[in-house]
Amino acid sequence: MKRNFVKLILMTASAMFMFPAMAQDSPELSMGNDIVSRYIWRGQKLGDVSLQPTLGVSYKGLSLTAWGSVGLSEPKDTKEFDLTLAYTVGGFNVGITDYWFDSAGDKYFVYGAHSTAHTFEANIGYDFEVVNFQWYTNFAGSDGVTRHNHRAYSSYAEVSAPFKAVGCDWSATVGCVPYGTSFYSEAPNRFGVTNLALKATKELVLSSKFAPSVFASVVANPSSQAAYFVCGITVTP
C-alpha cells in the first residue's frame, strides 16, 4: 500500500508538469535568510541557533529551491542542504525534495542504496485557502525501518490554517506520523501526533528598502512529550 501511494504521487507529479501554466510570464528569483533560536522540523529538534538561507527560481508554476541549515551555537547541530523541485497549479501542489544531512562528513555525490546520506521525499497537497493539507513520503535514499525491519517509506501528514489577528499573520498546524518508522524517532512503532504548532509573523518596515519579518512559534510534540518556544527573523532583499 505504501509503495502504491508513492507511485501515485510520482505519476501525479508527472501529469501535472504537462498542464498549461498560468503563472508569471518571466522567471522570478527569490532569496532570503532566516536566523532561528532553535531548528524544529515537524516537531523534532534538529538544532539550536541556526542560520537557514534560501535561494529559488520559479517560472509558470514550476520552481526549484535550495535551502540549507547550519548550527551557529553548537558545531554538532544538523548541517543540511535540500533541493526541492515543485509544481503548483491553482491550489494543487506536488514536489520532490532531496534532503542531504552532513552529520558525519558524508560525501554529497554518494547515492548507493545503503550508503547515501540523501533522503528523497515526494509531496502532494492542496491549499483550500482556509486550510492547507500536505502529505510527504520518503521513496528512495536513506530512510527509516518498521518494527519488522522493513523499509518504512516514512510519511508525514500535516494540516495548517492561516489567519490574521492583532496585526500579525498566524498559522495553526497539526502534523502526524501515520504509521511507525524509525525515521521519526518519536513514533518508531505506531501512529503519532508529532507537531502541534502556533506561529505568529510580523513584518517590520524599517525603511522603503528594508522590511525584515520577525516570528515566534510555540511547538508541542505529544509523542515525545516535548515542547519548544522558537523565535527568529527573516531577511529578504
Each residue's pLDDT tens digit, 158-191:
999 999 999 999 999 999 999 989 998 766 678 9
pLDDT of 209 reads 84
Q: Is the pLDDT of residue 140 over 80?
A: yes
CB 184 within 8 A of CB 192: yes
**Lowest-confidence segment of 4-13, 98-107, 226-235 by average pLDDT:** 4-13
Which tens digits make up the pLDDT trace of 204-230?
998 888 899 999 999 999 999 999 999
pTM: 0.86
To 10 degrees, the CA torsion angle through 151, 160, 81, 35?
-140
Residue 157 CA from chain centroid, whole number: 11
Q: What share of the chain is helix, strand, coil (3-state, %, to 5)?
A: 5, 55, 40
CATH number (domain holding residue 178): 2.40.160.40
The residue range of the domain holding 86 is 2-235
Does residue 23 or residue 112 have the better pLDDT? Answer: 112
Separation between Cα atoms, residue 186 and residue 48, nearest integer Å: 19
Residue 231's DSSP bridge partners are 216
Q: Which residue has the higher pLDDT, 9 or 70?
A: 70
Total structural domains within the chain: 1
Q: Spell out the SS3 assignment of 187-202.
A: CCCCCEEEEEEEEEEE
Q: Could you tell me if 176 and 184 are in contact, meaning their C-beta atoms sit under 8 angstroms apart? A: no
